[in-house]
Amino acid sequence: MTLTRKGQATRDRIVAAASRLMLDQGVARTTIEDIQAAAAVSPSQLYHYFPGKNALVLAVIEHQTGQVMDVQCQGLEQLDGFDALGNWRDLMVNILTASQCVGGCPLGSLASDLSEADPVARVQLANAFQMWESLIHDGLARMQERGELSPAADTAQLAVAMLAAVQGGLLLSQVNRSPDPLIKAVDTMIDHLRLLAVS
């Protein structure tokens, strides 16, 4: 569907409103009527862009993937050494601290809500996490190419472990309302990488 500028703005407003509601109160508890009210659109406007809630959920995942990847790229596209790794860690901790550890990871929250109930959404979320994992992997591979990590280091395995540490750290930080779990999880992974550094 080709949209006018006004049409695109309306669609974006609907997706943004749906994203806020689904993260705040969960996907299942968010109704089409809630989204209409939050986006200030009529039923006909909403259904013009989205045939139903499932289509809106997929648009929300796409929106949140873009938001998360934009932030992650700020740190991971510069990842080529241990200083840059620390900068990426600080970026995440600063964002978490600014939000007072409320909300956790948008992708993690959606995955928790949807993975068992919506197979199409689960695949879309798996692709989003794969994009994130690839950003980490590419950065670790650059470190390896620069001679900062041992050639024997398995950068693919390390990328999965680092993403798992980030996700677990974000969840525990949300529960505890403290950035300490994220800090400890990522710092432990960075310490492990230092053991694999070329001396």
Q: Is there a single domain that holds both residue 42 and residue 66?
A: no
Contacts of 46 (CB under 8 A, 6+ apart): 14, 32, 35, 36, 39
Number of domains making up the chain? 2
The answer on 99 and 130 residing in a single domain is yes
* Same domain as 44, residue 104: no
pLDDT over 90 (residue 2): no
SS3 154: coil
pLDDT tens digits for range 128-155: 999 999 999 999 999 999 999 999 999 9
- Give the residue from 96, 70, 97, 99 showing the smallest Cα distance to 167: 96
Of residues 108, 102, 151, the one with CA closest to residue 129: 108
Q: Are 68 and 156 part of one and the same domain?
A: yes
pLDDT tens for each residue of 23-68: 999 999 999 999 999 999 999 999 999 999 999 999 999 999 999 9
- Does residue 1 register a pLDDT over 70? no
62 and 38, same structural domain? no
Same domain, 168 and 76: yes
Residue-number span of the structural domain to which 10 is assigned: 1-51
Q: Give tens-digit pLDDT for 167-189.
A: 999 999 999 999 999 999 999 99
Write b or e for each residue in 67-76: b if 16 or more Cβ atoms lie within 10 A of its Cβ, otherwise e: ebbeebeebb
Q: Which two tokens stand for residue 73?
A: 């790229």
> pTM of the prediction?
0.92
Quick check: 42 and 101 in contact, CB under 8 A?
no
Smallest CA-to-CA distance from 168 within 184, 190, 191, 192 is with 184
Q: What are phi and psi of 68, to 5 degrees?
A: -65, -45
Instruction: Give Cβ neighbours of residue 167 (< 8 Å, ≥ 6 apart).
Output: 105, 108
Same domain flag for 47 and 69: no
Residue 6: what pLDDT? Answer: 87
Would you call 116 exposed, middle or buried from its count of C-beta atoms within 10 A (0-12, 13-18, 19+)? exposed
Identify whether residues 23 and 76 lie together within a single domain: no
Q: Are residues 101 and 163 in the same domain?
A: yes
Task: Say how far apart CA 36 and CA 52 lie, in whole Å.
Answer: 12
| Residue 46: CATH number of its domain | 1.10.10.60
